[in-house]
Amino acid sequence: MLPLDLKEFQEKASMHLRPWQRSFQFWVRAVDIYTGYKVFQVRVNFEKDAEKREAMWEKQHEVAADKIYNMCSDLGGFFLKVAQIIGKPDLAPAAWVRRLVTLCDQAPATPFDAIKVVLEKELGQGVDELFDRFDTNPLGSASIAQVHRARLKGDKTDVVVKIQHPGVQDLMMTDIRNLQAFALYMQKTDIKFDLYSVTKEMEKQIGYEFNFSREADAMENIRRFLYENNKKTPVIVPRVIRNMFTRRVLVMEYIDGIPILKLGDEMAKRGINPGGKVAAAAKQNILKSLTLAYGQMILRSGFFHADPHPGNILICRGSEVALLDYGQVKDLPEQLRLGYASLVLAIADNDPIKASESYRELGIDTLSKCEDEQKEMLRLAQTMFDTKLPPGVTMLQPFSEESSIKKIAVQAFPEELFSVLRTVHLLRGLSVGLGINYSCAEQWRPIAEEALYLAGRLKDNDLKRAHRRGIFRRLFGR
């Protein structure tokens, strides 16, 4: 009996020590990456030749990219989400993007025996009792859950079964708190931005992701909204299977499509030139559909899917777009929804005064010592809340010395607005990846004007402009 007791004791001790071990691994690696860059910044200043400096930076980014990749891959969990956020072609160095983009859908899968225990406990029946067929190899595995293709008893269509990894919640909360401490240090030393509030909102949002019943409700609400507000929904939303979801298991319809990251390869297979006119038109339609869906969700409803990273987007027949994974959704308060609508108009109209007013309304507290404060405030708004890159720029560097974030300190940033910020940045990353430079603010302007009009907040001049764009005809049929 003693060996069994010893084994149980060892397992319990390992579980208690795991968060401490994980924290130690994070801090050792994070400090190594950070100090590597700080030492390099001193060294590169001694090189006067611009081309040699550029080559040195590229080599440093490659070294850091390997370290970040290994940290995110080894630790998994929350750090896979970190890789999704920072590994975007418009934000991160190219070396980072090349390494981190492969982590989007490469979370290690939980063995089927462990997954089966969760599934049968949650649904109250055996796998063989519920399903005619159940693929034991997952379609994909992410930081919180993995998905399997299956077919319900007596049904003719396939479903997807999403099952939560056992024990993942405690580890992810440990990861987030470590990142919060790192964010506090960074905003006090290097970055004049309220990073801590951003990480607090991440903590709240990711906490919601562990409740699949909430996700099922969100999926149905967004599906209903998009189908009721359009003749044809801009994106496909999976249908939840009634009475087949719990806190840790979610069964939904299977949607056949190609992951957006593999779109170019699929086009090449079919003899379509990925850089040709046909491909360009298809990519434009894909981006148009996503932009319209998000404009309607954020500005018209306020309740939106807040995680449009490439792993959650499928391209279906006829360039239709399917949007997956509704674990991260956000319900914006009315004041923030309308304040953001005002900011969208300010960006679309290139209006620095209106941008400054919108900042105050949204509760974004800034401190500036630069000469042309209003111009920099508008540039900051464009950097944070628009997808368009300046002419000739393929990558934003928000924390460079010339960046507006360096010139204007963001002392307070509403936690609830982070989901909008992250969504816009993910859309920008998609547009850069597809080779299309466009402004979501310009695309969303009619929806923003409609939202403000319905709230009674458009002035006479704005009403005339809205009338010219046909909003009244769309709203009232005249």
* pLDDT value, residue 477: 38
State how far the alpha carbon of 179 is from the alpha carbons of 4, 91, 260, in Å.
38, 19, 29
* pLDDT value, residue 308: 86
What digits encode the pLDDT tens for the residues 5-44? 555 545 555 555 667 888 899 999 999 999 998 999 889 8
* pLDDT value, residue 199: 80
CA distance 116 to 170: 21
Sort strands 235-236 and 321-323 into parallel, antiparallel or unpaired: parallel
Question: Best-predicted range by mean pLDDT among 342-351, 383-392, 423-432, 468-477?
Answer: 342-351
Which is more confident, 292 or 462? 292
Q: What percentage of the chain reaches a pLDDT higher than 90? A: 44
What digits encode the pLDDT tens for the residues 402-451? 555 566 767 788 878 888 988 898 888 888 888 888 899 999 999 999 99
Residue 394 has pLDDT above 70, yes or no: no
Q: What is the mean pLDDT of residues 220-233?
A: 96
Q: Which residue, among 170, 133, 165, 130, has the nearest Cα to 147 in the 3D structure?
A: 165
* pLDDT value, residue 345: 95
Burial class of residue 83 in the structure, from the number of CB atoms within 10 Å of its CB (0-12 exposed, 13-18 middle, 19+ buried):
buried
* pLDDT value, residue 472: 45
Q: What is the mean pLDDT of residues 389-401?
A: 56
Q: What percentage of the chain reaches a pLDDT higher than 70? A: 85
pLDDT grade for 401, boundaries at 50, 70 and 90: low
pLDDT grade for 90, boundaries at 50, 70 and 90: low
Q: Residues 108, 100: contact at Cβ < 8 Å?
A: no
Question: Best-predicted range by mean pLDDT among 52-66, 118-132, 274-288?
Answer: 118-132
Which is more confident, 389 or 344? 344
Residue 324 has pLDDT above 80, yes or no: yes
pLDDT grade for 2, boundaries at 50, 70 and 90: very low
Which is more confident, 458 or 62? 62
pLDDT grade for 329, boundaries at 50, 70 and 90: very high
* pLDDT value, residue 118: 95
Residue 392 has pLDDT above 80, yes or no: no
What digits encode the pLDDT tens for the residues 137-152? 999 888 889 999 999 9
Residue 173 has pLDDT above 70, yes or no: yes
What digits encode the pLDDT tens for the residues 232-244? 999 999 999 999 9
Q: Which residues, including other chains, have CB under 8 Å from residue 213's CB and lie 6 or more apart?
A: 245, 246, 247
pLDDT grade for 455, boundaries at 50, 70 and 90: very high
What digits encode the pLDDT tens for the residues 202-221? 787 788 889 999 999 999 99
Residue 97 has pLDDT above 70, yes or no: yes
Which is more confident, 234 or 400? 234
Q: Which residue, among 342, 363, 357, has the nearest Cα to 412 in the 3D structure?
A: 363
Q: What is the mean pLDDT of the chain?
A: 84
Phi, psi of 258 (to 5 degrees): -105, 130
Return the structure tokens found at 213: 């019943």
Whole-model pTM: value is 0.78
Return the structure tokens found at 387: 């997808």
Residue 122 has pLDDT above 90, yes or no: yes
